[in-house]
Each structure stands twice: as structure tokens, then as C-alpha cells.
Structure 1
């Protein structure tokens, strides 16, 4: 469409030059012949356009016609389409659509995987199937395990041919025994009490300062039954095993109350070496020491002991080999120790010192360990810190720096019974 004027009074809507003839563009502007010359012509409205895009079944279209026809770009290229997600060129390149035989979902744009009896599986469902190592066909069956604990996958037919059968606790295939490696420890769990198990305490050694140890232990897969037998056999009436949510696989070894000297002389320390040899660890879990409240002379003694531990948080954490939200050193709790000792408040149990137990104070700071020296050092610190703070006077605290860690370490040097603690502090100093 060309518009002619008799006088040079019109201007091009694009270059603003005065002209005698203008042409309407797809964008609704009137342009001169010079501006229209390089433009494409929309194959739908026949008007010149500065930007035209290819479209399936329409040719090249301007933006206005693209919007009018409701077209949109192909997922793979700029070609405009009216339905689907790809243009005719790319649709031809895509795998044919199919319905997954497992989830019954119509799938496009992916290739089907074939399972037993030539079932077609989508990418999401193929992971539920396994290739039989005997006949090389897919089968919907969990991985089987042989007597050496090496994984093998069989279809039902081949499993029967190889005399495999199901674990009593799951559908996993085994060739001997009653349980697969995931459940072979099934019977052993009876020896692990639940978290709330708390028998009547049996006291060992001379009081009133008794220590109770809670040692969390990780056990490797397939070793739980044997490790439980080792632990219960070595402990006898000294302790028991419990569940704890912080232990992914293993148990918490809990002792009845022991005096420090009795623990050094009579605890079955060889058990820790045996468990470590079987691959057990204390990684990322804790060792807690309960101290009998009867070990403290009065509430002032409790105050001095708690204040000493909180004031030396950095050194205690170095000795304990961990900083944990399950054994937190909280500045507010340090300030409020006096109110806690008076019984005016009950702080949360996940602090460095848990004051909630009725008969004990729980020192939660230590990282678990199966190193005999480290565990003995934890017991030594619990006992020594209570003994050290027992008779401290105001003069000791104000004038002789008795709150300081150095004063405490000099004090334990003169007491050979705390040699496990001294050795551990020396080892830590050398490590630094």
C-alpha cells in the first residue's frame, strides 16, 4: 500500500526525510521507499517488516501476525510453531513417543529402555530395575548378596537356578543363612536397650565421687552382632548398651557408677582396642561423663566447678577434641551459673554441662574415641576438676589466679593418679 502526496509536506516515520510517497509497514508506521527497501515482507499480511521470523506452515511472519496467530518459538530453534514443543524439523529428529510400562506415563523426547519381556521403560523408572548378571535381562528386583558380601543382581528365574532365596527381613537375595548383610544383626538388636532404659545403678569403687561413662560408638556394616557380643561380654554387670539417635549404626556404651581409681584399674580397657580393630570409630559422636552430685560438698562447690569449666571453654574444647551444638558453651549460661546452682532455673540439656539429671551432673564436652588414653583422660578431667575446685577460696580465685587453666595444669602435675590427663595434654601440646 503506497500513499502519494502532491506536496512535500509528509515525512518518513523512520528516517524523518520529506517525501512524496509513503508505505505502511507491519508495525503501523509509514516509511519511505529507501527505508522499506531492506525490509522483509510478512508472508501473512504482505506488509514490510524490520523483523520477521520463520514459522511452520506460514513462511516468515512479522511480530504482529505472530501474536495474532498465537505462535511461539520451538524448544530447539527460533522457528515459530502453533502447537507442540518442537517445529517439524526437530520433531522428526526426536525419538518416537511411548508409554512407560511401569508408571504408565506418556513420554516424548526420550528413548525407551527395554526390560524383561520387552517392556518399555522411561528414564525415571529404569532405575527401579536391575540387569541380571546371569541372563543380562532387566528385572524388577533388588540387588542380591552372596556369602562374601559382594553385590550381585539376579532375576527371579536365575536366582532360583543359583539356589538363592529371600532374606527373612526383606526381599534381598542371599545364598546362605537367614539374613542379608543389612539385617544379619537382627537378633543382636535385642541386646541394645532403648534410649530411656535406666536400670538401678550398681556402684563400683569407693565414693562418694562416682563417674558414669556414656561412650557412643559407630559400628561398620556387618559387624554389629559381633561387636555387641564383645561389648556385653567384656562389660558384664559393669554396664549395658543403649540406642541413641545421634549414632547412625552402632550403640552407646553406658557404665554403672565407678570411682575414678576403680575405672582405671578395673574397666575392661582391652574392649576399646578390640572394637577399634573391628573398624568401630567415634567419628562425629560424643563421650559424656556423669558426675554424682554427692561428689560436691555443697552448691558453692558446684558453682566453682561449673564456673571453672565455662571460664576455660577454649582449653576444655581442645582437650575434648570437639566443638558441638550438643555440648554448647553459652555465654549467657556462664553468667547465669549462680542461678542454676541455686535451682532457680533449669537450662537445656545440650549445654557443655547438663544439669537436668536428678542425681548427676553430665559433662558432655568430649568427642567419642576408642583410644584408651583419650577416654581415660576424659574420666581424669572429670574427677580432677571436681577435686581441684572443692576447696578453692576467694583468695585463691582473686589473688592466685585459681580460675586459670595454667593453675589447674600445674595442680594435676603434682598428682600422679591423673597421669592420663597429663599425658593427653602433653600430646595435644606436641600436636600443636
Structure 2
């Protein structure tokens, strides 16, 4: 006859026996009643009798309390690591403490004097030692100092006040010229970046007369301008050129020669946009402009219908364009002067939604820059489609069939598959109605 096996285990805490033990370790078992009073230590992660409450770390076990050298707040039973008061009581004595501008800890002045940083921040010593350095001009701590070619390290505020700017090839700050000392022999690297007023003889691509010229403002990560210029010029292969633009902090404006819409969809190096995006470039905060040849219009009445259509549908156009900007403003004064603009007797402001100042084009300035292929193609498609749509609008179309309205235009688009990028973008933006 065999002896029955005893499946009960004695609890290591209260001493009672249990058949369903909880093992805190291979050698230490606890019964159900005792384990309910245990919690996970926020310090070591072990399940234990966690009863000690800390200022910022939650509840901890006795081992962590000793190992981390916690001590009691001078006024209560809260455990703290540094100083004399817990966070709550330090707040009560704000005149005797300061809040670290990085970790937000309350630091008693009797323990540490604050270390002053840029942005009116006060730092505790631990944060000041972790990545912060003194600016060589203002003697304030900062965690993003910029190096100059003379060896000084400056915060952004001081670099701006002292008129420093980046070398055109790298991130080194300089106060004169175009290049830092290490790159003054590299002029050839950015010969392809022309001045703002550069305007070569246009080369027309595709079948006209409705030609479009793309201007795409692109920001480049600091220190990579030369490489991105080389990549872009190689991909354009003569289809366009690069210009400086004051509205771009660090980058360039990509300008194409005139292209027919269909030719642009088929022949523009669209992979370039993905390549620039993967390299960290962006269109954020910049503009995308489309020049439309004046020869694309059948006459002043066609220009009138087109401009009237764009201005009457400003909210929908701005939704499609992904921006409302003073650099592409829909001003009442411009809308009221459309008739004179069509006759060539009013040129308005360059920063209008439609810039009528160029001699041979109208500049549609409404779009936000982008490296998204569909968004850029949609901008070209809208420029081309809006001109094509308004070309044959008749008075009955306008007065009886609401021809100047956005729904009439989008309905017209659905029957013209060549404008698929625009239709897709409108659907993505939920304004194709």
C-alpha cells in the first residue's frame, strides 16, 4: 500500500498550509491570502511587501529603499533621494526651491543653486551634466550648441543675434562669405544652385500651347545641401534647374522648363521626389507654384472665366492646396480687379493666389509644397484641368447649370481619366463633391 503524497505547502509569510501556493522564488512560497497583500516593486520589479511610498518612483520594497539610499522627507513619511523635502512640501516652500527646466524635479535651494540655461530655464546639476554645455557668448547652458569655424560654440539665439549662418556645404556656422574654411575650395559643388533672379531661355516639352512650369520649394537637412543638389540636377537631366529662395531656410527651389501636362506625367522624373523624401528633405512650410502659359487661353474672356472660377471657389481650392497663406492670398481687391487683369491693365500683387505680373504666364501660387507624388501631380492636374474646364463655359452653363461651382467642376473631372491624380487627391481630401 502506497503512502498518499501531501500536496500542501507551508506559506513562507504566515506559516499556514496551502495547496495552491504562489512562488515568489524557487524556495519561497506564499498562500493566496498573503499574496493579495503584495505588489510589484517599481524599483526592481519583484513581487514583495511593497509599503514604502516614494516621491516620484511609486511604491518600492525594503531592499530598494536601502540600496537606493532613500530617506524620509523632513515633514512627512514620503521617501526621497535628494534634498530635504518631498515634491509636495517643496512646492509649499517655492521661495526656497526651483523646478528643473528639463526633468521638472523640485530642487531645494539649500541643496543646489540653479544652473541657468537658454529659454529662461533653470537646471539641476544632474541635467546640466547630461548633454548641456555653456554657450561661449551668453554663458548659458544649452543642449544644442552650434559650432563656428573659429571654434566657438553658440546657442541658436546667439548665433542669430551675431548674424551667423550655415556654410552652404556643411552645418558649420560662418559670419561672412558662402563657405566655411574647410569648404572654400568646393565652389564647384553648388555651381548648379543659381541666384533668385536666374531665368534661362525656356525649353518647351510636349505639345502646347497649354504649358505648365513647376516651382517646388524644398528644404534640405543641414549639411547635405551639396549632395541633394547633385542628386536633383542629375535626375532632372536638363528638364529644370535649381534656384535660391529667401523663403527657404536651407534648401532650394526646383524649377522646370515649360511642360505639357500629359508630357509631365509621363516624363518628369517622379522618382526624384521619393529619393529626396528618403534623404530627409521636405516641402513642409514651403510653397508649390504652377506657371500657366498665357498662350493657353483663347482670349481675355477665357482668362476671366478661369480667374473667376478659382476665386469663387477659394475654400475648396485651399483645401486641395493644403494651405491658406498670405503668400497666395485670396484678396477681395484682386477678385474685384479680375476684368482689368484679363485686359492686361492690372497686375496686382505678386503674393496673390494668381500672380498676374509675369509677362507670358499666370502663376498659380496656392499650393503647399510636397514630396508626395500624387499631391504634386494633382497640382499640375488642377492647373491644366481648370483652364480646360473654363475654356468652353458658356453663359447658360454658368447661369443655368452652376458652371462656376466646385461640384460642377468635379463632376466634369470624373469623365476625364487623364486627371486621375487630381480626382484621387480630391477623394483623399474628401472634397470631391
| TM interval, short-chain normalised | 0.5 to 0.7
* Structure 1 position 127 matched with structure 2 position 139: yes
Which residue is equivalent to 1:208?
209
Which residue is equivalent to 1:373?
374
- Structure 1's 335 and 125: CA in aligned 2 closer, same or farther, altered over 3 A? closer
Structure 1: distance between partners of 2:238 and 2:136: 54
Which residue is equivalent to 2:231?
230
Secondary structure at the counterpart of residue 182 of structure 2: coil
Q: Alignment partner for residue 179 of structure 1, among 170, 179, 182?
A: 182
Q: Which runs of 5+ in 1 are unaligned?
A: 1-122, 131-139, 145-166
Secondary structure at the counterpart of residue 215 of structure 1: strand
- Structure 1's 397 and 185: CA in aligned 2 closer, same or farther, altered over 3 A? farther
What are the Cα deviations for residues 37-93 of structure 1, in whole angstroms up to 9, with x where unaligned? xxxxxxxxxxxxxxxxxxxxxxxxxxxxxxxxxxxxxxxxxxxxxxxxxxxxxxxxx
Instruction: Tell me the CA shift for residue 143 of structure 1.
Output: 4.2
**8 A Cα contact 1:184 1:222, kept in partner:** no
Which residue is equivalent to 2:252?
251
Which residue is equivalent to 1:71?
none
Structure 2: distance between partners of 1:234 and 1:124: 43
Instruction: Tell me the CA shift for residue 127 of structure 1.
Output: 2.6
Secondary structure at the counterpart of residue 279 of structure 1: coil
Aligned length: 274
Q: Which runs of 5+ in 2 are unaligned?
A: 1-134, 143-149, 155-169
Structure 1: distance between partners of 2:174 and 2:211: 49
Which residue is equivalent to 2:152?
142
* Structure 1 position 300 matched with structure 2 position 312: no
In the TM superposition, 1:285-296 aligns within 5 A as 285-296=286-297
- Structure 1's 430 and 294: CA in aligned 2 closer, same or farther, altered over 3 A? closer
- Structure 1's 336 and 275: CA in aligned 2 closer, same or farther, altered over 3 A? same
Structure 1: distance between partners of 2:306 and 2:431: 28
Instruction: Tell me the CA shift for residue 190 of structure 1.
Output: 1.8
Which residue is equivalent to 1:386?
387
Please give the TM-score of this superposition, normalised by the length of structure 1.
0.59
**8 A Cα contact 1:185 1:224, kept in partner:** no
Structure 2: distance between partners of 1:379 and 1:292: 13
Structure 2: distance between partners of 1:281 and 1:184: 28
Instruction: Tell me the CA shift for residue 340 of structure 1.
Output: 1.4
What are the Cα deviations for residues 379-418 of structure 1, in whole angstroms up to 9, with x where unaligned? 0000000000001000000000000000000000000000
What are the Cα deviations for residues 231-271 of structure 1, in whole angstroms up to 9, with x where unaligned? 00000110000000000000000000000000000000000
Structure 2: distance between partners of 1:420 and 1:171: 44
Instruction: Tell me the CA shift for residue 191 of structure 1.
Output: 1.3
- Structure 1's 129 and 359: CA in aligned 2 closer, same or farther, altered over 3 A? same
Which residue is equivalent to 1:190?
191
Instruction: Tell me the CA shift for residue 178 of structure 1.
Output: 7.0
Which residue is equivalent to 2:357?
356
Secondary structure at the counterpart of residue 373 of structure 1: helix
**8 A Cα contact 2:426 2:432, kept in partner:** no
Which residue is equivalent to 2:412?
411
Secondary structure at the counterpart of residue 179 of structure 1: helix
Secondary structure at the counterpart of residue 366 of structure 1: strand
**What RMSD in Å do the two structures reach over aligned CA positions?**
3.1
Please identify runs of 4+ aligned residues in structure 1 that moved more than 4 A.
123-126, 169-172, 183-187
- Structure 1's 207 and 431: CA in aligned 2 closer, same or farther, altered over 3 A? closer
Please give the TM-score of this superposition, normalised by the length of structure 2.
0.59
Which residue is equivalent to 1:274?
275
**8 A Cα contact 1:185 1:225, kept in partner:** no
Structure 2: distance between partners of 1:430 and 1:340: 29
**8 A Cα contact 2:407 2:432, kept in partner:** no
